[in-house]
Amino acid sequence: MAFKLSFIFSCVFFLVSSVPRVFSHFQNPHNGLLFNNTDQSPFGFLKDMQGCSKGKNVKGIRDLKRYLGHFGYLNNPQVAYPDHFDDDLEAALKSYQVFYHLNATGKLDGPTVSRMVMPRCGFPDKETHQRGNNNSLHTVSRYRFFPGRPKWPKGKRHLTYAFGSRFPTRFMPPVARAFSKWAVASRYFTFSRARTYRGADLKISFARGAHGDGAPFDGPGGVLAHAFAPTDGRLHYDAEDRWAIGAVRNAYDVETLALHEIGHLLGLGHSQFQNAIMWATFRSGVTKRLNSDDIRGIRSLYGS
């Protein structure tokens, strides 16, 4: 139990130290309306840097480093990075490119920028980046676990969930379906809705900006949602993105993101298999389902 609490604290500390510096400059200055997304992505600054390579001194490189630091590819995301494309940045880019099956050039080339600007889950792909080591998370097949493989205690096979007071009623059934699909896939867990939010094992809500968990959202089009490793239980959607049920143009499917974030709640990290629900990036107007890679991952973690 002490290890799990320590792991959760370390994740939250990592996010606290990195996220505000990474994205605050690019946040939408307006609050906007819930489910109304007309603003540019906070990752859009990367497009202006396409073609950068080692040895260059270009304004914005420090923000590229913060991006990679936040998502686990570069150490010390809390330090004041210089605007210099150094050896560490080249190694971090190569690590990112390997993870996403891109050509490992170490340069900010077109395919890499196209991948990096995509909306995504806010949880890091890796714990930290270590030069020469692309296996920070325990890897079996293409699914991945968190460091130390945190999971729900043995015997805790029934989990309750609840929605925050401002969670739209029409979005509750898609999330409930996502829980049902994980129950079937895991052959281990069952889920039911709790009577109270406070008493639930898993707490699901919409939030915007800084919302008290040390991982502030960045406005439309960047980080879509995030959740924490066991046994924290929190799952948050960014209220400034546009959400829908099913494949709706220019909107993100609530159930698809629920499937992904519930995977984190149960102990899965980001998969390196693009068809897996635990792949980190998402497209608007597209739905996804659990893949055999996700199913093998959860059954391996819990021995079911």
Catalytic residues: 261
* Nearest residue to 180 via CA among 116, 255, 121: 255
166 CB burial (10 A radius; 0-12, 13-18, 19+): exposed
Write out the H or E segment, with its range, that includes residue 91. helix 87-99
Q: Which residues lie closer than 8 Å to 7 by C-beta, 6 or more apart?
A: 146, 147, 148, 150, 229
Q: How far apart are CA 238 and CA 181, in angstroms?
A: 23
Q: 26-44 burial, b for 16+ CB within 10 Å, e for fewer?
A: bbbeeebeeeebebebbbe
Structure token digits, residue 129: 């980046």
- Residue of 42, 33, 41 whose CA lies nearest to 239: 33
Rounded Cα distance between 206 and 198, Å, is 16
Sequence-ordered strand ranges (E) for the chain: 120-121, 139-140, 143-144, 158-163, 190-193, 202-207, 223-227, 234-238, 243-244, 252-253
Please choose, from the candidates 155, 168, 178, the residue with its C-alpha nearest in 3D space to the C-alpha of residue 277.
Answer: 178
Residues facing residue 144 across a β-bridge: 139
**Structure-token pair, residue 82:** 């210089």
Tell me which residue of 232, 231, 213, 233 sits closest to 223, measured CA to CA: 213
CA trace torsion 12, 14, 20, 23 (10° rounding): -110
